[in-house]
Structure 1
């Protein structure tokens, strides 16, 4: 009996060890339910996050803006730069401007076609006839008539002008000269016979100086010198054309010499 009870005790102990809380048959369903519950929670959380990100389309735009905000800032600065420069230009202090620069365009217009004496910086003085005054920079353009009848032009920067004194007003003849100063001179008109005579005379003179020349064009009105230079009517130095500057200069000198002999 004692041996039988001892064996029964060992069997009970083994069964007790085997039936631990983690291996108890009632414990298995609880663990599987917990796993399913946790899995369900995680699935719902992921679905909620995905739904939240898809439901708010502003979030991707904000992320893209954060990634490219440096580029956006640079573009804004470039676009705003011209407006900043204009604002800075018009906000410059007028204290450094001279009395001449502070005048209006209508006041500057009163000096045109008048002989003036300009007092500039470092006690420089300039005298001449006012052709025009630039309304933006206040620069003055003066013209002076030399003894040989030629005009010389002088430009004075507006910021260097201290004062302008009117000396005299232009008469009608001087106004006419100033008005046509930069206009091209009217070329004299020649008849067809006169042009033929000038062409033949110049051609003969060039051939006498052993310069090869021939007539070209539909009307044979163009002279071609050595195949590299042309002379068009009325056959003056300004009517010579060539891509070779050396040949052009020499032939122009020859034509000037020819015209001097004809006078």
Structure 2
């Protein structure tokens, strides 16, 4: 059963782009929440929002289920750095790691394409900076685990 997704359009890149950004979510029961997106579950599309935000450690946490979301509006493109899992790495370092990972996947006979800063495998899996096994996004757990194991077998490199 495939449910239509009018909020996120089943776009994991869009969902990830909202992390650490200030949004307003209006629900079907006419409640409105303004806060910083902590995480979005890419499978169930549940949003964890930090409201009454004073700092990364001082806030209220609200969990909003996908079926309750009527609309979502991004209020700011500014990213709260403390919400990012990995520190932002420099562009040359990121490009070098992306190239190494892409070559490794091709050596393992996996068709991988570049899509901006991301690496894509057959529209099923996305690898985001800094291109480690924990940076894979995929709805299919079997594919996800196989690609993560391949990335874990990548020889250590100096970047």
TM-score category, normalised to shorter length: 0.3 to 0.5
Structure whose alpha-carbon radius of gyration is higher: 1
Q: Which one has the bigger helix percentage?
A: 1
Higher relative contact order, structure no. (Cα contacts within 8 Å, ≥ 6 residues apart):
2
- Larger strand share, 1 or 2: 2
